[in-house]
Structure 1
């Protein structure tokens, strides 16, 4: 193995690209190899279900760096290549075709892939999954025709693509086994809010329903639900979650559990192997738990955090989990985290009917998560401050729009005012 340091980054998405950038910014002058399975340079994924899919954003705006940045910063960008093996003992990675690369340290930023729909007919033409730029381009072309679209799954991807399809004039049906959209993420009340938003925009929501079959000859023509309904479809979009791409870690002795397990420094159980982004199940000291976050901010900040850790900087990235969505006239930001059943009170502040409000999830009167809808003057920062404060709050003051959020943070809770206990 070479005596010069070689850092290999596997996964040329946002996390990998930002890790390479940070290594150079922090003074690393060794060799950096950034390997990606797609044919284009690293780009950001949120627009794939938002602005790029709707036509509001051009492809050129998606890229993390200008085309010449990688050569200018001596980052070897290996595109359209797949890493097939990780040899920890030899400190090597193997690429398709048999090439082997030495590494001093390696970062696994392999991301996640959409979970596949496992029903008869799932392989028909016209069935779409959304992960890559090419996926989004194909889906945009399909829904621009304004035909009948069925979306399977009412999570973030499902709802955002449903909104995009309605924007093109498509007839849209969303099928979801839970009682409301986004139930696991936001609970009953906020899930019901998003359901109402989509209904107002003409989406047919089939809640509490599953899919048993896709029908068609060559191309999908209908979706069959578990109550026997047959819904006509020219396009089917599947958004039923994602699985972390842990294949390189599986069987190597690295700890894997719903992603590659890493500590608060994004180190695996091997001191020369790191993981970041969607594939990493990272330990959060704030929560005393491992959490895998599949959102843009995690890749944006996780890649640089991993790079600094690879350089032996003793810095913990203690950012709160964060995500955002754009659907129709709705813009939303969310911060925080709670396990299933990890809150006992939901407080709303503002006018849900006018789609301008805050929401706070509390456990024992402490804010553990919060979001705002179309409250851009204040944004997400005061919500994050309330969470970090970790102090008991008065829910009545949180719910009162006349009380600045900064003042509410200084107020100790004297009684509980339950707005929602879902």
Structure 2
């Protein structure tokens, strides 16, 4: 059949995770971000409609209306609309110099301002905020991170891992202030200071905000598809419309490892769920049941997370954080449900397999880093 791919950006489909990592550091050319070179689509007769928005869907007519007024008919439609950054709406939030990281253009704009001696304030100490901070301080930028809650990466890692990353950033020269909310931005035309809810001011030349993302579900909602923190799909990536499937950050799906419906924000989920969605359009059946995983590169540290740690009742640390290589293993009723592996790829790889197998492991044995996690398989 004939495939048309429609995208609002002018680039062929590309990886977003490196935008706050190696691409921001200037270590990757734009072309290295591409999931496939342009010729891949040409060779397979995939029509690219780039730099165009879809204005609306007409499911009853099986038609999409493009921003230039054209109408495209379809037999099957995949919604892979992803997500958009969560914006701050505070006094001064419209000033120039306040950045978010979502597109190549965003990263290019930030990179151009990361010069030695410049002052950067990062709002949020999640993946994006800390990745940008690690790149910027290595380039000689004066970096301050403001985090509203009591520890870094609090949504995704345990306190022990948070403390390790706080200490590592601090030693590298990053100034991190937790329990510090932002009240306003100041400047004439461009931002020159950030004011906290406690009244403290931090001078700056630029700001990067990383406070999460929200699913891009406008088209789906307007067309009448059921949405609830994402486009609601089943375990085959199907919406309630038999001709429409959805995949990636924009979807809310039943996940066997969470035991409930969730929305995942990861390239692994986007790729694997898209495969399931494509098979569904082809009339084939393969339920989506992948162990979720995520990663973050900060300095020379690679954090790899397998599984979902919510509702854990025990954390077991393997290895010594002082060696910059260790893992945090999360248990629920003795069963391994998640692993945070810092510079520990073997624990990550074996951890994924153990999570998929719903392995029950003795905590004392698990804590013995002389034993490989592979020994428990």
TM-score, with length taken from structure 1:
0.87
1:168 aligns with 2:136: no
1:285 is matched with which residue? 256
Q: 2:124 aligns with which of 136, 153, 156?
A: 153
Q: Is 205-214 or 282-291 further displaced after alignment?
A: 282-291
Q: How does 1:14-413 map to 2 (within 5 A)?
A: 30-339=1-310, 342-376=311-345, 378=346, 380-409=348-377
Deviations 1:72-92 (A, max 9, x none): 101010001000111111111
Residues 397 and 408 in structure 1, CA contact (< 8 A), matched pair in contact too: no
Deviations 1:133-188 (A, max 9, x none): 11111111111354000000011011100111111111111001111011111132
**Partners in 2 of 1:357 and 1:189 — Cα distance?**
11
**Partners in 2 of 1:122 and 1:183 — Cα distance?**
25
**Partners in 1 of 2:134 and 2:150 — Cα distance?**
20
Residues 350 and 358 in structure 1, CA contact (< 8 A), matched pair in contact too: yes
Q: Is 165-174 or 63-72 further displaced after alignment?
A: 63-72
Offset at residue 366 of structure 1 (A): 0.8
* C-alpha distance 332-185 of structure 1, shift in aligned 2 (>3 A): same
Offset at residue 98 of structure 1 (A): 2.1
RMSD across aligned positions (CA):
1.3
Residues 323 and 335 in structure 1, CA contact (< 8 A), matched pair in contact too: yes
Q: Secondary structure at the match of 1:165?
A: helix
Residues 157 and 239 in structure 1, CA contact (< 8 A), matched pair in contact too: yes
Q: What runs of 5+ residues in structure 2 fail to find an aligned partner?
A: none
Deviations 1:381-417 (A, max 9, x none): 20012212213210111100122212235xxxxxxxx
Residues 151 and 162 in structure 1, CA contact (< 8 A), matched pair in contact too: yes
Residues 214 and 222 in structure 1, CA contact (< 8 A), matched pair in contact too: yes
**Partners in 2 of 1:233 and 1:135 — Cα distance?**
18
Offset at residue 128 of structure 1 (A): 0.5
